[in-house]
Amino acid sequence: MPNTTDINRRQNHRQNRRQFLKGTGTAAMAGAVGAGVSLSGIPTPAVAKEMPYLVDGRYDFDTVYSRIGTDCTKWDRQIQLFGPIKVGMGIADLDFRAAPCIGEAMRERLEHENWGYLNSTLGYTELKEGIVAWNQERHGVSVDPDTIEIATGVHPGLIAAIRTFSPPASRVLLMTPTYNGFYSDLTRTQTLPNESKMIFENGRYHVDWDDLEARMTPDTHTMLLCNPQNPTGNVWSEEDLLRIGELALRHDVVVLADEIHADFVRKGHYTPFASLPDRDIVNNSLTFKAITKTFSLPASKNAYWFSTNPVYLERVKVNHRADINTLGVVANTAAYQHGQDWVDQLLVYIDGNHSFVERYLKENLPEVGYTRAQGTFLSWLHFGEIMDEVGVVERSAASRNSDRPMTETQVFEAWLAGTCGVQLNEGMDYGPGGERCMRMNIGTSRKLIELALDNIREAVRSV
Ligand SMILES: Cc1ncc(COP(=O)(O)O)c(C=O)c1O
């Protein structure tokens, strides 16, 4: 229990922060209406003048914010791998300039130049308050702060959980195509994938229920459930989740629900696994989350996991260690506290990006199979015969004995990058079902999406 001194200290700290923010754009945003922001949420012209990051009273997601030269994976690494990339549309982070509240909070903390150990009791208090409020307000799920474990990422939490329940050489259930990073978690826990390929029908992926249940074998103790699902963009319904949960409970499989993309779903369309109306099913799960995707903060190394099952919590904690960095806590706490408005505007923009891609492909590249994602900021593109025409089968076979063997979709990735300067993520990396697909990250300015699609169209036409 915090004592009065703790509470005073925290309140002082908040006051200091507010003082610091006074007169800046962030304070105006945080203070909303009273600080000169109109009822519609759009700042009045006087306030807008002090907010250079706003265009016409809105956050500016349209202006391209170059990341080249920051050693980032999405651009710099691809240039290193493929040469002069014009558009990096790969790894799942956002290209946008971060929400102003994040920079403000980090600059404030930089004023004090000591980076000693952060105390997890004191240092996580506001962060956890933010996590609880965010889940409640945006997703309608109540998370008990005492059940939250702070992590340096979703991966370290997942690895700890797999290690807890799935001994080396046992199997971990996946529904494919699924997030490629899960495979690296299996490598680190010396476990094996048990892949239930989803059924692809009328442009949508569905669970293959018979196959899923058949794979809940005695040597399968955990299931990695991705919701919303990367890369397909599926958002699982309550009915689907209950059915998965019932099967898992019946066959002693612990559900590890990775919900890192949860914010990228229209309000009311996402069902958190922890909110399912069946206590036993929820108690048979752990949830892994972060707002690092939402605010483009993944390198700030900040995530969390929780469970309503105290036994699971204690068991996984034994295998989990998180040494959090100060600026990561500052950045993520600021995002939880002051980032709502930025995210609300971001979601409208991303929704517009989905519409743009949908329209563009329909009008200009109908031979690329596409279904608008229900969630995430990802597009999953089916290139089908285009890949065959490029010769991916032959080229992949020819590479087999070289020092750089390539899968068919890796061949296509390299071909696209070389032919038109666009880097997409290769489909086979996401497991069975990804053989003729590529993943395109649309968390970027619309101009870049248009450039990427124009270039892809030209490359495809040249085949
Ligand atoms: C579904 C999913 N889970 C986890 C991660 C990585 O999470 P973190 O960076 O917090 O380890 C990603 C990143 O792309 C993801 O898409």
pLDDT tens-digit profile of 210-255?
999 999 999 999 999 999 999 999 999 999 999 999 999 999 999 9
Q: What is the CA 4 to chain-centroid distance, rounded?
A: 38
pLDDT, position 54: 74
150 lines ligand 1 (CB under 6 A): no
Q: Is the Cα torsion angle 147, 150, 153, 158 positive or negative in sign?
A: negative
pTM: 0.89
17 alpha carbon – ligand 1 mean position (Å): 30
Which residues does 223 contact at the CB level (< 8 Å), separation at least 6?
172, 173, 174, 216, 244, 248, 253, 254, 255, 256
| Average pLDDT of span 56-65 | 90
Is residue 260 in contact with ligand 1, taking CB distance under 6 Å?
yes
Instruction: Provide CATH code, domain 74-96+342-461.
Output: 3.90.1150.10
Atom of ligand 1 nearest to the CA of 376: 16
Considering only CA atoms, which of 30, 19, 12, 95 is closest in space to residue 342?
30
* Helix pair 154-165, 310-318: axis angle to 10 deg: 100
Tens-digit pLDDT profile for residues 120-151: 888 899 999 999 999 999 999 999 999 999 99
Q: What is the pLDDT of residue 52?
A: 56
Paired residues of 150 in beta bridges: 304
| CB 292 near ligand 1, within 6 Å | yes
For residue 286, the cross-strand partners are 256
What is the rounded CA–CA span in Å between residue 239 and residue 261? Answer: 19
Question: Is 60 strand, coil or helix?
Answer: coil
Choice from 155, 325, 441 to test ligand 1 binding pocket (greatest atom count within 8 A of CB):
155
How many other C-beta atoms can be found within 10 angstroms of the C-beta atom of residue 430? 27
Closest-CA residue, ligand 1 atom 6, reads: 154
DSSP reduced 3-state for 218: coil
200 pLDDT above the threshold of 70: yes
Mean pLDDT of 381-396: 98
Q: What pLDDT score was predicted for residue 51?
A: 55
**Own/partner pairs, 67-74, CB within 8 angstroms, 24+ separation:** 67/95, 74/441
- CA 365 – CA 375 distance, rounded (Å): 22
pLDDT at 16 over 80: no
Q: Where are the domains of the chain?
A: 74-96+342-461, 120-338
Could you give the CA distance from residue 330 to residue 300 in angstroms, rounded to a whole number? Answer: 9
The answer as to CATH 3.40.50.410 being correct for domain 120-338 is: no
What is the reported pLDDT for 258?
98
The pair of structure tokens assigned to 59 is 């956050």
Q: CA–CA separation, 353 vs 420, rounded Å?
A: 21
Q: Is the predicted pLDDT of residue 322 greater than 70, yes or no?
A: yes
d(CA 124, CA 347): 27
Quick check: helix, strand or coil at residue 115? Answer: coil
State the closest ligand 1 atom to the C-alpha of 155, by its place in the atom list counted from 1. 11
**Any ligand 1 atom below 6 A from CB of 154:** yes
Query: For residue 138, what pLDDT is reported?
Result: 94
Interatomic CA distance for residues 230 and 149, integer angstroms: 23
Ligand 1 mean position, distance from CA 231 (Å) = 11
Residue 445: partners with Cβ closer than 8 Å, 6 or more residues away: 61, 62, 63, 64, 65, 95, 96
Side chain identity, residue 335: A
What angle in degrees, to the nearest 10, is found between the helix axes of 154-165 and 181-189? 40
Closest atom of ligand 1 to CA, residue 298: 9
DSSP state for residue 222 in the 8-state scheme: E
Ligand 1 mean position to 214 CA, how many Å?
28
The residues, any chain, with a CB within 8 Å of residue 366's CB and separated by 6 or more, are: none
Whether 425 lines ligand 1, by a CB cut-off of 6 Å, is no
- CB of 410 closer than 8 Å to CB of 428: yes
Instruction: Answer yes or no: is the C-beta of 227 below 6 A from any ligand 1 atom.
Output: no
- Number of the ligand 1 atom closest to the C-alpha atom of 229: 1
Note whether 74-96+342-461 and 120-338 share their fold: no
Q: Which residues of 45-69 are buried (b: 16+ CB within 10 A; e: fewer)?
A: eebbeebeebeebbbbbeeeeebee
In the sheet with 437-441, reading across from the earlier edge strand, the strands are 378-382, 437-441, 425-426
